[in-house]
Chains A and B, each alone.
Chain A
């Protein structure tokens, strides 16, 4: 962390505390230190930077449904007649061009074009083509905006997924959610500002690895890193009290602790201790608020049915989708799901339907659910992946063991909700969904657009690190994609 920022953080803390520490003597400790306890029900932001948002945000919350491994835009969203016409024939050299391939296909003898695995249909008023592998997502075509020309320089998982999530291919940078937490703080003091959940895909298990850096804080203060949410007794690690210690007993211990800490803090003139007392209180509240949010027993049958049978399988994508809605309802700033297994180098025909089945119904249900509850209008939904897949086959054409390689030159993601033009497609790829024909969107542009929806000008949202004013969008120019905005 840059010392100047650290200094400022200290100042902020000390200012808050300086004030309360001075007044502590005469007043009841509880009301002095935990005003939000008294003001339960009223929503106030905690943390974040002054001056941010820069302008009125369209989205107060962000939901990122990250499909890890490289979702095939060719099969699912970007169908082209030429893919069928050229089926089995080599991709024309003019299309293939000189762009680099991974070591897995760069030595391949031929590059036969492979049409989408199954048919699709034009959906919604806009007539968006969506694969029949995603029948439920077909029904939300009018709610989403597909970007077909997203592109990245990275062609391998590690750099690509790191780029997508942190704005840089190399490790050491802050993730999107950490940026959001840093800039905007939290609206719910009982839950972390950034929550991440990982599920395993059933198409390919294990899928490509994921890394804690994808939800890490990088150079930002580490309290902005994403907090994992898992099924089981400890939805948040270490949440559960030791055996037989119940809430009442813990409460008594924390009261003693606060008394001792407060007494000593006054004696030493140590404002940090007051911050720590507050942190213990929030931990205590989390022990109630987290299990409560993780408990889906009060969800209606209709809701559970909408998300599909997997919703009752702890740790599944469907279960995580339902949790995501519960988190967003509680104003968690940034919720991110990572679903693994989208890396169909082999056995595309076996693996892809499974992957699609994992996510199709829950994704559609979640967006409908958010809409029905009035949350979609101020929640930005990002359905993303680190790159697409090649129009040509990896392995022999027609071989059931074949698949598709990574493809970063153009691929599809979709956005929905706060600030986004619904029922729309942006950008056009060439006849083979291999190159950008019109309106390319670089990852940086996507990042700029995400921040824009949150009311943040990406150029003015910086953190001093290594002497540089570092931005999520990096050092090169980035543009908000105005065409996708409502």
Chain B
């Protein structure tokens, strides 16, 4: 015998001693080794198979081949496999060196023991329907605790003691609602000495509407929910009705089998209704494109492939996507199996390039939300009250507004001097020519964005702004392509007036200006000039000058009346410029509106002094010119009406009203949502060679993988049949995968760590008996999710403390044995939500359209097709009022530029199905919780609430800790923080201006009765507490 082989055997024999002590289990011990190292050449993929040898099937592996018998049960010497894996000959050894795969000594020992013990194969565990293993008689433990304890005993460990009450309520509240308990809830629970206190707590949490959000959030990742189309231009879409449906389904405790089957085939069910149709949006969450030039067949294959992939990973725990191009390398899923599943979804009547201009890609439907809330009466009352506030004159506000207006009127035209801007260049992205500049004139303007470069005129006084003059050379507007598209998409909620009623000449959507030292052909998005005013000499109703850059509503902008001569628009800079410092001026004018035409030409002037224009209409000017005492009641009322509708002073009320109205609308009116349907002429499905859309081979019919049970008898081979198949009792995967995902949500890791892969390459369950028990229980309970969750969170296993010792850490480093309570960092959304709650800012509204809270920069325009596309979501427009403080799961998710503060905490971009997020710790996370205005404002709000709790610092601190980390502070913590408080008090008492400034971030108003120094000092303490490691951790 060669010496190296002897050595190898010696070492492996050493290992065998311990391995042989227990019986080898094929599924647990051997399949992972064979799958990782052998199956890609000796498995189910026929095309990749080498030497006509299969090691995945017992019959094949044990029959005689040309070079002998691969595996001879009980006889190591005759087993060629054993010989080959131990060979020292590079050409002989398996796996071949080229594969970079290698068996470890422990792998070899296992294989050896397995062959010696009879080389028994087992069906892959996850492909056999679960059975509930019996508990030994006399066992008093619930199943979860029994199976968990068994493993611990085997490893020489004990369960950890129960966590303290503080930790428990924080843990379970975060797990079930995604929000921490309030200080009051913590104290009540800690003081509740009844034995059923915990059970009641769990029941209360499961009944909390935030439960649906918490569970929904997890499903949004799996379903790759997003508010944009994803590919290429990544325009906006509307699918939030589906998100509403998900939240409601969890809150209703809709049985999981219904939850899944309605999403797969709700439209085809005999009792289909609005909710079931909305539910089918699940498989419309895939990315789509309207990129010009793409090849339709290719797009459609991509869309459908994503549906198969998502179904596999989210519902079945199978990496189906691996069989798109060839038979699965590891699992018994053939390419044919893949395309049979593909065929279920290939009957959709969707378009290859669709979904532009904010119009949902087809098929879409107008439906009302299924979200149940009882807020409507209060909401309507709020709307009425806000309307009333706009109605009832507020003399103080009116006086203040009038002072500003009178001042502007007095300044108007003072020193106004118009100077033509010498233009140098003009450009536009998608047109070859026909536009030019001459002197201060620009010509050949069409309905898109034009960038115009000019020289800043030399002037004595600084340049206060720019004026765009548009002569009336335009013929009556013709309906454009965009307008036709808008008309065609009648199903969409776009509040556009019909073309024939449109009285404007054109709509100027946006103006941007950059003044710079160097000549820029285009405006620089990093240096856009801020405007203090935008005025025009005339405008039609609903299209005032100040609506230039009002992107939040489609079709807004400035529009002068058609057929009334030359008109101009004037922008006044917030900071004047000079030719000396900024010799070049670049302006971008954008006619991105569906309405009207384009002005074809115009002139550009710079001006010094004051604009002679106004944003006030004639009748307001007349009233203002009349002394208040001489005005009629009607005049005064009209003035107030204008002030209420347009003044900055009343903007907050208007925002609140608009938000409330939108909310009411989202609850009561039909909205567009994307759904599934059956095409009248369904596409045929072929096996695609190498997954290539252009290489169809054999035609296939819809069906399920041959290795898994067939469709239930009598069910149609369509999505309805698929839905029934997914949730039938014989399906070995669906319940296990669901249970495992719930377990993962509560323990940080699943019983199967590869939560999206229950195939051969998936990890062996840490507690197989437990997984099967819970799965069988789950199905027998009628797929009762809340029941399952209650079963888990009331177990002693879940309630263990997460405190741990070095010894336990060494024996059970990743807590796979459940030796302690799980501990992990909160996910992105929860960290922000928690800060909002602490800050007293959280708006606990459920569901509805997505919102745009603060963003540190226009991260959309940086990457988007802004100015060159009717697609929506190309420029970021921040929301205001309540919309800044909604739970993070409602933050608008633009796939190509997802919310920065969420992504920093490992949130996925939702381009594809995500079952497991990363959980990293990075410096950028610290920057978010320390500096993001959202968190800074939350700290200020938290400080305010802390101050209001008590007048005693110690009591305040105690409350703050209970609120943020659900426990009182230790003496040492208290000492450290009180010292910090003293330091900050000293700082801000000495420098009050600094205190005032540090309190400014954010749009909510602070309680100004609190002295600024005191508020600022506590704000630092609040920042400290919100940044504690424990605050972002669930123990």
Residues of A with Cβ closer than 8 Å to B?
A: 1-4, 6-7, 10-11, 14, 18, 22, 100, 102-105, 155-158, 170-172, 192, 198, 200, 202, 204-213, 216-217, 221-223, 225, 227, 230-232, 234, 236-245, 249-250, 252-253, 256-257, 259-261, 263-265, 267-270, 272-273, 275-277, 279-280, 282-284, 286, 309-310, 312-316, 345-347, 350-351, 354, 395, 399-403, 405-406, 459-460, 462, 466-468, 475
Contacts and interface: CB of A to CB of B under 8 A. Distances in A.
B803 A157 contact: no
Given A242-B936, A260-B1024, A104 B802 contact: no
Contact of B805 (A11, A269, A283): A269
B75 interface: no
A467 B330 contact: yes
Contacts of A213: 896, 909, 911
Nearest to B233: A209
Contacts of B156: none
B924 interface: yes
Contacts of B912: 170-172
Contacts of B234: 209, 211
Q: Which 7 A-B pairs have the closest CB atoms?
A: A401-B432, A467-B761, A3-B753, A102-B293, A283-B926, A283-B923, A171-B911
A256 B431 contact: no
A206 B512 CA distance: 14
Given A205-B451, A205-B522, A212 B431 contact: no
Given A100-B295, A171-B912, A459-B100, A10 B814 contact: yes
Given A280-B923, A314-B527, A198 B862 contact: yes
Given A4-B753, A276-B921, A468-B322, A400 B432 contact: yes
Contacts of B666: none
A321 to B, nearest CB: 15
A241 B906 contact: no
Interface in B300-322: 302, 305, 313, 319, 321-322
Interface string B970-994: 1011001101100100010000001
Interface in B921-961: 921-928, 930-933, 936
Interface stretch (B5-13, B533-541, B614-622, B863-871): B863-871
Contact of A272 (B750, B909, B921): B921
Nearest to B306: A170
A18 B432 contact: no
Which of B761, B928, B1001 neighbours the largest number of chain A CB atoms within 10 Å of its CB?
B761
B127 to A, nearest CB: 15
B694 interface: yes
Nearest to A14: B813
Contact of A223 (B430, B763, B922, B1000): B922
Interface string B412-453: 000000000000000101111110000000000000000100
Contact of A346 (B430, B814, B922, B936): B430
A209 B518 contact: no
A200 B586 CA distance: 14
Contact of B518 (A257, A312, A399): A312
Describe B's contact surface by its main secondary structure.
loop
B145 interface: no
Nearest to A7: B814
Given A4-B753, A206-B866, A268-B1035, A212 B903 contact: yes
Contacts of A315: 524-527
A349 B508 CA distance: 29
Given A237-B900, A310-B518, A3 B927 contact: no
Given A237-B900, A250-B930, A350-B433, 15 more contacts: A4-B763, A100-B694, A155-B295, A192-B924, A200-B525, A209-B233, A209-B864, A209-B865, A211-B895, A230-B857, A236-B924, A253-B1024, A314-B527, A347-B431, A475-B325
A230 B526 contact: yes
A243 B998 contact: yes
A249 B923 contact: no
Contact of A242 (B295, B1001, B1033): B1001
Contact of B896 (A211, A238, A313, A467): A211
6 contacts: A3-B749, A202-B520, A238-B904, A239-B931, A279-B922, A345-B430
Contact of A259 (B313, B906, B976): B976
* Residue of A192, A216, A241, A244 contacting most chain B CB atoms (<10 Å): A244
A257 B1024 contact: yes
Contacts of B231: 158
Most chain B beta carbons < 10 A, residue from A6, A11, A282: A6
Interface stretch (B53-61, B284-292, B600-608): B284-292
A272 B429 contact: no
Interface in B742-780: 749-750, 753-757, 759-763
A240 B322 CA distance: 45
Contacts of B825: 272
Contacts of A354: 427, 521
Interface residues of B, number: 129
Residue of B35, B983, B1029 contacting most chain A CB atoms (<10 Å)? B1029
Contacts of A2: 754
Contact of A466 (B756, B918, B997): B756
Contact of B813 (A11, A22, A312, A399): A11
A227 to B, nearest CB: 7
Contacts of B865: 206, 208-209
A10 B433 contact: no
B1027 interface: yes
A143 B909 CA distance: 39
B863 A22 contact: no
Contacts of B920: 221-223
Contact of B973 (A216, A263, A282): A263
Contacts of B200: none
A191 to B, nearest CB: 10
A347 B432 CA distance: 4
Contacts of A102: 293-295
B210 to A, nearest CB: 26
Contacts of B867: 205-206
A313 B517 CA distance: 8
B1001 A243 contact: yes
Given A100-B694, A263-B973, A279 B896 contact: no
A273 B1031 CA distance: 11
A399 B922 CA distance: 54
Interface string B780-824: 000000000000000000000011111001000110000000010
A104 B919 CA distance: 43
Contacts of A276: 921, 926, 1029, 1032
Contact of B863 (A210, A261, A462): A210
Contacts of B302: 170
Interface in B1002-1035: 1020, 1023-1024, 1027-1030, 1032-1033, 1035
A313 B1001 CA distance: 29
Contacts of A283: 923-924, 926-927, 930
Contacts of A223: 918, 920-922
Nearest to B926: A283
A468 B324 CA distance: 14
Contacts of A264: 973, 1028-1030
Given A1-B918, A315-B526, A401 B433 contact: yes
Chain B CB within 10 A, most for which of A3, A6, A253: A3
Contacts of B527: 231, 314-315
A222 B997 CA distance: 35
B803 A238 contact: no
Contacts of B886: none
A103 B857 contact: no
A275 B1024 CA distance: 17
Contacts of B866: 206
Given A277-B1029, A467-B762, A260 B973 contact: yes
B916 interface: yes
Contacts of B35: 467
